[in-house]
Amino acid sequence: MKPTERRASDLHKAMLSCVPGLVGVGLFSAVINILSLTGSIYMLQVYDRVLPSQSVPTLVGFTIGMLGLYAVYGLLDFVRLRLLVRTGSRLHRKLQPKVFALSLSLPLIKGQDASRVQPLRDLDQLRGFLSGLGPTVVFDAPWMPFYLVVIYLLHPSLGMLATVGALLVVLLTVVAEILGRGPAARASETLLAQRSLADSGRRNAEVVRAMGLSRRLGWRWNEISHAYLTHQERLSDIVGATGSLSRALRMALQSSVLGLGAYLVIGGEASPGVIIASSILLGRSLAPVDAAIANWRGFVSFRQSYAQLTAALTAFGGHVEPMELPRPQAMLAVEELTIAPPGQLKPTVMNVGFDLTRGAGMAVIGPSGSGKTTLARALVGVWSPLRGTVRLDGASLDQWSPEQLGAHIGYLPQDIELFDGTVADNISRFGGKGDAKGVLAAARAAGADKMIMRLSEGFQTRVGDGGAALSAGQRQLVGLARALYGNPFLVVLDEPNSNLDVDGDAALAAAILSVRQRGGIVIVIAHRPSALANIDQVLVMSNGMLHSFGSREDVLANVIRSVPPGERPSSVVPSPKGVSGHA
């Protein structure tokens, strides 16, 4: 089976695992629909046998039987609903790990378009539909002909009238589906745009407040909200009109059946009980249509979510679990690397190649927009290259699973994101509380241990969402400790000293030296000269391409000679500290 086919079958396999539960629901529905004849049969017997005979014992016997059957009906309906809830939960449990992993990787695959794909929301929609009354409509609808046949048996004229009415009601439902498909899709699109704008505003609340963007974002929100409400109103009008017309038609049809039944009784072609029995049967035969209209939005959401989740899992959701490889310990090789941001085809880094052996320390420097951060993201496997390869000990990064590769890589991104949890949780990469020694060793290697111990609860201090409880410098030190946790072979630090003071710079230099001394490789994306301490090689980026690469002294000397003194950026001019003491 091809990988794409295997990924496409993930959702289908999960749905197939729900088949036993749905078969049970179908069996319960069959018995429930047969028991639904209880009311019609009871009224038929009362009018045709009890009233003519004036027999109270007969009435009591039929009533007891009727109550018993309705008790069984209620019990089976309750069991059916419980079974549906557990079927929905089963689907959720089967797909939740894959869908959650997909939701985490989508921004790295789709880039800015990732917000348009919401697999977790789609999975929740599927679970909600399967756990509700929607599936009962599917199992009850095939019983409509059965009830119509019973009405035919009571009298062919009543059966003909009921059939025509049922066809009209079904036709209304089909028309609602056709007319509502477009507005439903457009409403879904605008709802996603609303959520994306709201999330973006919350993430950048400080900028919004400081720069007075609230009103302008409000105008944008109003435009999107107006479009959403317009599409939603259109959909509601279609569903509402269909529901109202269907209810009116059903009531008219039931009254017509009563009138036709009375006419047949007057003509001696039917018994009085047929009037009530046929009306009850007609109402029961049309119940699935009424339920379908009432749950129409659920059907539409289920269909959209199923299609979207299938497409997402097909395109992005699967991977073959690779064989576990030995821990890298010799070299990093970058071969003709060309990189573009996720979801884009225009490369921002082109044909970069270099080799580093164990114990190496390399700085990547260059002007803003030269591709330094893009290169860093590709080196740690965050962004997949358009062309070229990154190898550790000869194996390309895609030969490791993300979990296996993560154990060998330490990464400090430019924008440091911490997770809501304790300092120890974040440093240990949420690996549990069993490695206190490893957490403390990483904190010491980053020079963050003393700072952490001065916090209100030390390593058990909760950092809040995004590390809100810590200052920018504290977040950077905790992020550095997280990057060093577990002694990874490759450590990539993107502007690691942007928020550090003098003491922090010294701790960073010591951390770089310790990684090199234990045989690891350190790559530092640098703007400030202090980050060049304990670095022996420099790679210069310019316009997305490798400008020069070699020893620190040679590269910096060439760069300085090629730039007029008044135009030399500080990022390429080593300070006295920057040129001293490296392994």
The DSSP secondary-structure symbol of 544 reads T
Q: What is the structure's pLDDT at 362? A: 93
Q: What is the structure's pLDDT at 505? A: 83
Q: What is the structure's pLDDT at 177? A: 74
Gap between the terminal Cα atoms of the chain: 51
In whole angstroms, give the CA distance from residue 283 to residue 151. 11
- Measured in residues, the chain has a length of 583
Three-class SS state of 365: strand
User: In angstroms, what is the C-alpha Rg of the chain?
Assistant: 35
Check if the beta carbon of residue 403 is closer than 8 Å to that of residue 419. no
The number of angstroms, rounded, from the C-alpha of 209 to the middle of its chain's C-alpha atoms is: 29
Three-class SS state of 481: helix
The DSSP secondary-structure symbol of 340 reads -
With 0-12 / 13-18 / 19 or more C-beta atoms within 10 angstroms meaning exposed / middle / buried, residue 341 is middle
β-pair type (490-494, 331-339): unpaired
Q: What is the structure's pLDDT at 580? A: 32
Q: What is the structure's pLDDT at 147? A: 85
Mean pLDDT by 10 residues, the chain (583 residues): 51 84 90 88 86 89 92 92 90 85 70 64 86 84 86 87 84 79 80 76 71 78 85 82 79 84 85 83 80 74 82 66 82 91 84 92 89 90 88 89 86 86 87 80 89 89 82 88 91 86 84 92 83 86 89 79 50 38 31
| CA dihedral for 196, 198, 199, 200, sign (positive or negative) | positive
Non-local CB neighbours of 162 within 8 Å, separated by 6+ positions:
148, 151, 253, 257, 278, 281, 282, 285
Q: What is the structure's pLDDT at 573? A: 42
Reduced 3-state DSSP string for 241-286: HHHHHHHHHHHHHHHHHHHHHHHHHHCCCCCHHHHHHHHHHHHHHH
The CA distances from residue 353 to 14, 485, 493, in Å, are 44, 28, 19
Whole-model pTM over 0.75: no
The CA distances from residue 386 to 262, 347, 349, 394, in Å, are 78, 8, 10, 19
Query: 214-248 burial, b if ≥16 CB within 10 A, otherwise e?
Result: eeeeeeeeeebbebbeebbebbeebbeebbebbee
β-pair type (490-494, 545-551): unpaired
Q: Which of 265, 297, 336 is nearest to 187 (CA)?
A: 297
Amino acid at 126: L
